[in-house]
Structure 1
Amino acid sequence: MRKIILDVDTGTDDATAIILAALSKDIDLIGVTTVWGNREIDITTKHTLMVTELIDRDIPVYKGCSGPMVRHLYRDLPPEKAELPEPFDEKGPVAYHGDFNLPEPKRVAEDIDAVTYLIKTLRTTKEKITLVPVGPLTNIALALIIAPDIVENIEEIVIMGGGMTQSNATTVGESNIVNDPEAAQIVNLANVKKTWVTLDATHTASLPAEYIEFCKNLHTTIGDFFADMLVERIRVYNKMQPLFVKDIAPIHDALCIAYLIDPSVLDDLRHVHLDICLDRGPGIGAFLIDNRHFSLKPNAYVAYSGDRDKFGQIVMDVLKNSQ
């Protein structure tokens, strides 16, 4: 059983990652840290608490950073005013960035902040821990800067971020990386195994609409939540970012958890030399992969593709087994 800490900016794909990690018999989710990203930090933290109450698990939640490390300095924005995506369209809130249809949480975040928790936990653990950041990498990067010795107790960092042929925040950039590119590069350069679950992988592993019925047929609160989430994600992707097939949507962050359950779900995983573009122009946040025959020494595993059927089966198996 892998011991993990999830680092989230909770929208619906983060919510599904929390659900899968908490309910999987193959994973020990020891804590969840929150970060700004899909929404401002207070909302991503509230969403995270909502989800932990939905699944009735006593998982500690630690509130983290409210903005990027340095990007606000050259975007002329204070950290708390970082450029966040507007969570609205003509129908109102877009569910995976807007408000969840869940009760207000009764629990609150823990007293210590996310970065302090990461450092203390990694310094005192008796077994190695896998970090799974699925939002901007601000918390993880700061922990690595403050306490570089923590890499000794990190088994792997599994990151949802980046893309080779796919992007969403800019022409070439994925939002988790573009939101804090310096943090992404700090994590990328850490001397620890890193697996990047990119948009190329999450898009090819997108779930089609038939999974809505599969989830509803479980007749559980969690199954219904999963179904409602997929309905809204498909609606939004059909309208705002149509993919190669209609009525299909990626659940980006959940694919990171599926990889921990069954690594073969990433069916094209390459060991490469990766850099993050930090130029303050249109290329910011882009993945730079050295494909030369005399390329630099590989420093990361990058997923180019995901297995849709296998991903769907992993999701359904976890949801069924939680009944």
Structure 2
Amino acid sequence: MTSRLIIDTDPGVDDAFAIALAALSDDVELLGVTTVFGNVPLANTTRNALRLLQLCGRDDVPVAAGAERPLVHPQAARAAHVHGSDGLSGRSAALPEPERDVEPGGAVRLLVSLLEAADGPVTIAPIGPLTNIALLLAAFPQVKDKIDRIVLMGGGVDRGNSTAGAEFNVWSDPEAARRVLVEEDVPRVMVPLDLTYRCAVDTAWLAKLAGTGPIGAALEALTPDYLASYRRSLGWDGIVLHDAVAVAEAISPGILRTESYPLEVDTTFGPGRGATLVDRRLPGLRGEGEGTVAPGAVQVAVDTDVAGIGEFVLGRLTR
């Protein structure tokens, strides 16, 4: 069965693997890619997305540039210290020059046109800050019926990475994240740090990827700065493919085990700003008036076959 998919992204090394995962999967109809500020500025994320699609031989996929800043408050910090100055370990220029330019009109216009034209439900996989998706749902609620699921990489249950409690994508625009995760009723799957860290891959995995051909070698070559960063946080030589884990669920529903929870996003200016507060209490123990899990609760990915995820991603990237 073919999955219709749109990726919203801020490439980013893990985004690069996620885009390639979708672009190289025969059972995915990749309708489009939209870009957003995040790991690096919008100009970089957009150029990276175009080059990655060109690497994968997918210049048939339209790309549109989206939000260059958060909805309300300035982005606190970018992630060049993790992804390199250009988002791809300083190696984006080694990727092929794109033969296709960005679509006119911007990301939200492209999202609306792709959803309206689709002949069936579409999954959206936001793997950067949620600004574009918040704008889409606020300004064009009529397209929600065309969205099958929003499968996003972001948030944390028991941890953060930008702060003790906040994951980078949510922390970059908490107001947008709250709009999507708390205020909307579109089916949503949140793939948090707690699970993606468990799906880290080692340098042997990267070596296998590099040995499979030009695309695998090019992807592995984007990882040195990312690998150096994760060597410090993991304590061993490996990388975390955060966004590829979310895209794996987007294209193969059920590869991650999820549980339904209400949640809140902290949009205050204290130390918890950007944290996702997942209410894992039994329904009867939630506060007065909260009752049972509401239909609008978010599916939170809590478990998977960790080795199987690595095999799934590697297999798709090396077909």
TM beyond 0.5:
yes
Structural RMSD (CA) = 2.0
Is the CA contact (8 Å cut-off) linking 1:195 and 1:300 kept in structure 2? yes
One-letter identity of the residue aligned with 1:228:
A
The residue aligned with 2:28 is 27
User: Given the superposition, is the C-alpha separation of residues 102 and 282 from structure 1 closer, same or farther in structure 2, using an over 3 Å criterion?
Assistant: same
User: Is 1:32–1:60's contact at 8 Å kept on the other side of the alignment?
Assistant: yes
CA distance in 2 between counterparts of 1:184 and 1:99 reads 30
Alignment-derived partner of residue 64 in structure 1: 66
Tell me the TM-score normalized by structure 1.
0.88
Q: Which residue of 2 aligns with 1:79?
A: none
Aligned positions of 1:161-310 closer than 5 A: 161-188=154-181, 189-218=183-212, 220-239=213-232, 242-243=233-234, 245-267=235-257, 269-293=258-282, 294=284, 295=286, 296=290, 297-298=293-294, 299-310=297-308
- For residues 52-201 of structure 1, the aligned pairs below 5 Å read 52-57=53-58, 58-72=60-74, 82-85=75-78, 87-88=80-81, 93=85, 96=88, 98-100=90-92, 101-188=94-181, 189-201=183-195
User: Is the 1:13–1:96 contact (alpha carbons within 8 Å) kept by the matching residues of 2?
Assistant: no
With normalisation by structure 2, the TM-score equals 0.89
| Matching residue's letter, 1:233 | Y
Judging changes above 3 Å, is the alpha-carbon distance between structure 1 residues 279 and 14 closer, same or farther for their aligned structure 2 residues? same
Distance 1:305 1:231, change over 3 A: farther
Question: Any conservation in 1 of the 2:154–2:191 contact (CA below 8 Å)?
Answer: yes
How many corresponding residue pairs?
305
Matched AA of 1:284: R
What is the rounded CA distance, in whole Å, between the counterparts of 1:291 and 1:232 in structure 2?
36
Q: Secondary structure at the match of 1:229?
A: coil
Give the aligned partner of residue 76 of structure 1.
none
- Name the structure 1 match of 2:318: 320
User: Identical aligned pairs, as a percentage?
Assistant: 35
Does the Cα contact within 8 Å between 1:39 and 1:84 map onto a contact in 2? Answer: no
Q: Structure 1 CA distance, aligned partners of 2:45 and 2:116?
A: 26
Please tell me whether the aligned partners of residues 37 and 176 of structure 1 are also in contact (alpha carbons under 8 angstroms).
yes
Query: Which stretch has the larger CA shift, 35-44 or 223-232?
Result: 223-232
Report the Cα offset of residue 124 of structure 1: 3.7
Long gaps (5+) in structure 2: none
Contact 1:95 1:229 in 2 (8 A): no
